[in-house]
Amino acid sequence: MRLPNKIGIVTAAGSGMGRAGALRFAREGASVAVVDLNAEAANGVVKEIEAAGGKAIALSGDLTSDAFARSIVHDTVKAFGALDFVWNHVGHPGPSMIEGVDWKDYDLAMNLNVRTVLVTTEAALPELRARGGGALLYTASTSGLTGSQFSPIYNIAKFGIVGLVHGLSKRYAREKIRVNAVCPGPVDTPMLRVFVARPDSQLPQGETAETLVQKRGGQVPMGRPARPEEIANAALFLISDEASYVTGVALPVDGGATA
C-alpha cells in the first residue's frame, strides 16, 4: 500500500477524477473524506470504498460557503483523528466569453476555483503541521499552463492556482508540507461535457457535447482524452511519500498536449 494509515480529503469527489482519486487513495490504505455538492453521489462513493474494505465519510455541501469549506477539515479530523493530505479538486469552467460576460458566472468560477481552495487550505495547514507535514494538491488543468481561446476566465483562475502552488511550496517546505498541482488535459468525464457545451460557448452547427469531447481528445498527441483513473494515478504519486522531494510542481497529465 502507498498511503498506509494516511487521512485525506478529496473535493468534488462524487464523480469523474475526484471519484477516481478517492477510490484509488482508499485502495492504497487512506481514510478518505469524500466531499461533493451532490450528497447522493458522495454517499455512493463512500459505499464503494466501504464495500472494498476501505474507510470513508461523505461530506456534502456548497464549498462557496466559507463555513463549509472550513468544516470539511474539522469534520475529517473529528472522524479520523488527523489530516495528512488534501486534494483540492473542486472547480468550475466559468463563462467562455469576455464580451457580454455574465459577471455572476465569473464570480462563481473565481470563488470555486480560487477562494474555496484558499479557505480549505487555511483550515488544513494547522492540521498538517500538527502531523509533522503533509501534502496539498490542487487541480490546475493545462489551462493553468497555456492559454485557451475558449476559456480565458478559466485561464485566470487556473494560472492563479499554479502561482499559489509556487508560493505555498516555498513558504511551507521547511515544515515538510509539500504543495503541488496536477494539470489534466481533456479527461473523459461528465464535467468535460459541461465544459465544452457551456451556454455561451456557441457550439458549431451539427456538433454535440459528445462529439466535441472526442474531438478535443483527438487533438492531443496521444489521440484520445484521458481516463479519470489516469489523473488519479498522478495525484496518488504527488500525495504519497514517493514524492517526498517533489514540491512546487504543476504536473501536466495531458497526453503530450503541452509538450
Q: Does residue 46 form part of some domain? A: yes
CATH of the domain at 245: 3.40.50.720
Q: What is the pLDDT of residues 114-141, one digit of tens each?
A: 999 999 999 999 999 999 999 999 999 9
Please indicate, yes or no, if residue 2 is contained in any of the structural domains. no
- 154 catalytic, yes or no? yes
Name the phi and psi angles at 179, rounded to 5.
-135, 120
Residue 206 pLDDT: 64
At residue 197, does pLDDT exceed 70? no
Q: How many domains does the chain have?
A: 1
Write out the residue range of the structural domain in which residue 140 sits.
Answer: 7-186+227-251
**b/e per residue, 174-191, with b = 16+ CB within 10 A?**
eeebbbbbbbbbbbbbeb
Q: Establish if 40 belongs to a structural domain.
A: yes
Question: Which entry of 106, 154, 172, 245 is annotated as an active-site residue?
Answer: 154
Handedness of CA 152, 218, 180, 146 (dihedral sign): negative
| pLDDT number for residue 217 | 75
Which pLDDT score, from 0 to 100, does residue 193 have? 76
201: pLDDT confidence band, cut at 50, 70 and 90? low
Record the cell numbers describing residue 15, joined without a space: 464523480
Is the predicted pLDDT of residue 94 greater than 60, yes or no? yes
Residue 195 covered by a domain: no
